Amino acid sequence: MDDVLIRSFREKFGTPPEVYSSAPGRINLIGEHTDYNLGYVLPSAIHLHVAFLASGRTDGIVRIWADNFKQEKSFSLQQDVEARRGGWIDYVKGIFWVLSKQGASLRGIDAYVWGNIPLESGLSSSAALEVSIISALDVLFKLGLSPLEIAKLAQAAENDYVGVKCGLMDQFVSVFGKKDKAVFLDCDTLAYEYIPLRLTREDLGILVYDTRVPRDLASSAYNKRRSEAMGALERLREYGIQTYKDVTLSLLDEKKNELGETYYKRARHVVAENERVKKAVSALRDDNFHELGRLLFQSHKSLRDDYQVSCPELDLLFECGKKSQSCLGARLTGAGFGGSGIALIRKKDIPSFKMQVSDEAQRRGFVTPACYEVEIGEGMRTQIRVK
């Protein structure tokens, strides 16, 4: 694929690109809505990715071809970086915006972007796009950014320019992901550890179930959940609590009346989910996939009932997973409100399970989902002076 993209860049701009970067999407095994609550997450990078090819220009014009949309757009660094237009170009502008706020000295570029992460699928195509752009600009303009700075700047662009108040998980795993490993990240200290995912040894695979539900309200609902979880923590601070890591389920039960129903439920999800992530890490260390699966099911229930970010389409995956002998666990992955779910499943039974969920979706009158297996892949990579 890389050669095809390099040839396409050359055809469009007349020269080969000076830099090629690629950054993956992700699945999150467990630890949902815990990143911005400064808890634990356990995501993995996947084989689907965004590729970004670029060359520097001498002026301040950014000209970019988005192959997936067959669209070219451009803007001037001097004049229109501040203006948000909506759509994919804002992700590019957001990166230039965040880097110039850091005092980086930037010029225009000719760029070509291509990706195979389905958009709006909850597999972090936007984080992959942001990371691929920053890592290319880092090389092109010799910015000297560390991998952690790349992840944090990508998050800042999404938070402060695009306006989604996401945590650091997606950008972090897009940068740091490793083949056949999950990344156990403490979002408070940013300490992380690679946990081997020996799925093939047990003949297991990870199936993505993309609901294809339109996610128009997803970002406002996401921001609302975030502020509810913060609100609950604020109230708990009156009892000497600093972060969610200090909270226990028994303390929550004690303070249930003071918290009120909504805050109580949001907090209960965060506290229990943090515990589940730690248990999932131990299960993976022991190759205990039955235990991992059990935790995935529990996580879904908590996201459905306490954090309330599921939807009927995602619940369908959970219900089919529970009924199936070959599915060890299933849950929504990412923000929820549509997007995708994952199922941990015996490889040989993937085709029949796919058929089962698709038939059930049809029976319930849902949009036809997309189901496919994902491989656990590498994090970002960049290559200079591509020929």
Instruction: Name the segment binding ligand GLA (CB under 6 A); options: 33-41, 178-186, 232-240, 253-261.
Output: 33-41
Q: How far is the CB of 376 from ligand GLA (least distance, A)?
A: 17
Task: Name the residue nearer to ligand GLA (CB basis): 9 or 222.
Answer: 222
Q: How far is the CB of 224 from ligand GLA (least distance, A)?
A: 13
Q: Which of 35, 90, 138, 170 is catalytic?
A: 170
The total number of residues written for the chain in this structure: 387
Contacts to ligand GLA from residues 324-343, by CB under 6 A: 334-335
Using DSSP, state whether 292 is helix, strand or coil: helix
- Provide the angle, in degrees to the nearest 10, between the axes of the packed helices 169-176 and 125-140: 60
Determine the distance from the C-alpha atom of residue 228 to the mean position of all C-alpha atoms in its chain, rounded to a whole number: 21
CA atoms of 242 and 239, how far apart (whole Å): 9
Task: Name the residue nearer to ligand GLA (CB basis): 27 or 81.
Answer: 27
Task: Name the residue nearer to ligand GLA (CB basis): 61 or 230.
Answer: 230
CA atoms of 161 and 198, how far apart (whole Å): 39
Locus of tokens 């229930």: 301
Q: Tokens in use for 138? A: 């880092």
**Residue 94 binds to ligand GLA (criterion: CB under 6 A):** no
Contacts to ligand GLA from residues 142-171, by CB under 6 A: 166-167, 169-170
With contacts defined by CB under 6 A, how many residues of the chain interact with ligand GLA?
A: 11
**Residue 273 binds to ligand GLA (criterion: CB under 6 A):** no
Task: Name the residue nearer to ligand GLA (CB basis): 22 or 171.
Answer: 171
Task: Name the residue nearer to ligand GLA (CB basis): 265 or 354.
Answer: 265
One of 5, 32, 45, 311 touching ligand GLA (CB under 6 A)? 32
CA atoms of 364 and 238, how far apart (whole Å): 46
For 80, list phi and psi in degrees, rounded to 5. -125, 35
CA atoms of 252 and 350, how far apart (whole Å): 40
CA atoms of 28 and 283, how far apart (whole Å): 16
Give, in order, the Cα–Cα distances in Å from 187 to each of 31, 133, 200, 316, 341: 11, 23, 29, 30, 22
**Residue 178 binds to ligand GLA (criterion: CB under 6 A):** no
Identify whether 3 is a catalytic site residue: no
Q: What angle do CA 110, 60, 65 make, to 5 degrees?
A: 25
Task: Name the residue nearer to ligand GLA (CB basis): 17 or 339.
Answer: 339
Q: Minimal CB distance to ligand GLA: which residue?
A: 166
Q: How far is the CB of 368 from ligand GLA (least distance, A)?
A: 23
Q: Do residues 212 and 368 touch, judged by C-beta distance below 8 A?
A: yes
**Residue 33 binds to ligand GLA (criterion: CB under 6 A):** yes
Instruction: Name the segment binding ligand GLA (CB under 6 A); options: 27-35, 111-119, 227-235, 282-290.
Output: 27-35
CA atoms of 32 and 24, how far apart (whole Å): 19
Active-site residue set: 170
List contacts with ligand GLA (CB under 6 A).
28, 32-33, 35-36, 166-167, 169-170, 334-335
